[in-house]
Amino acid sequence: MRYNRRKSTILTIINDLANQSAAGYITYNPTDKKFFLPPENAMVLANEDSSAFMLGAYQMLRSIFKDEDKFVEIFKSGKGLHWSEHHHDLFEGVAKFFKPNYMSNLVSSWIPSLDGMQEKQTRCKSCRYWIWLWNLYCNNGKSLSKFQVLWF
């Protein structure tokens, strides 16, 4: 008997959909024979702009397992691990996880809460440059569009 890779893949997908449906993550509509993601689950699992989006946290966790050999080595050697030496999933996960909070609060709450910051934004090119650099390097540019609207 020959192994049918396509059939195996399709069976795997069907099995995954059935398990996700049984767990309540997705719903099956027998009338039109389609699966769909309920809006409350989409906010957590699919909408990167949602304040409830959680997949960035899972990507951060995944990066720890990808760096496992590095962690073993630093415990053996006593050396450290530079931030830039982590797996890229850590940086991408942090950016995805914190993006909704930055987008919701940065312009509306955080910047106005800093004394004099709104006045500085109009006259301080140096301030704008440093904020832009922070956003680019610490947040992978995820909230840069808000800064561009506010500062540039």
> Looking at per-residue confidence, does 41 or 145 come out higher?
41
Q: Clarify whether residues 133 and 83 are in a common domain.
A: yes
| Tokens read off for 151 | 């500062």
User: pTM (2 decimals)?
Assistant: 0.61
Q: Which pLDDT belongs to residue 1? A: 43
Furthest C-alpha separation in the chain: 75
Q: Clarify whether residues 77 and 99 are in a common domain.
A: yes
Q: Clarify whether residues 12 and 56 are in a common domain.
A: no
* Cα 13 from Cα 7, distance rounded (Å): 10
**Number of domains, the chain:** 2
Strand partners, 35: 28
Q: For the residues of 8-74, what is the DSSP string, one character each?
A: HHHHHHHHHHHHHHHHTSSEEETTTTEEE--HHHHHHHT-TTSTT--HHHHHHHHHHHHTHHHHHHH
Does 35 have pLDDT greater than 70?
A: yes
Highest mean pLDDT among 49-53, 61-65, 141-145: 61-65
pLDDT per residue as tens digits for the range 89-140: 998 898 888 888 777 777 677 777 777 766 666 666 666 666 665 665 555 5
- The answer to whether 25 and 55 are in contact (CB under 8 A) is no
Residue 104 has a CB neighbour count (10 Å cut-off) of: 16
pLDDT per residue as tens digits for the range 52-96: 888 889 999 999 999 999 999 999 999 999 988 999 999 889 888
Q: Clarify whether residues 66 and 22 are in a common domain.
A: no
Q: Which pLDDT belongs to residue 110? A: 75
Q: Clarify whether residues 80 and 102 are in a common domain.
A: yes
Residue 54 has a CB neighbour count (10 Å cut-off) of: 14
Q: Clarify whether residues 97 and 85 are in a common domain.
A: yes
Q: Which domain holds residue 29?
A: 1-36
Q: 33 pLDDT band (50/70/90 cuts)?
A: confident
What 3-state DSSP class applies to 141?
coil
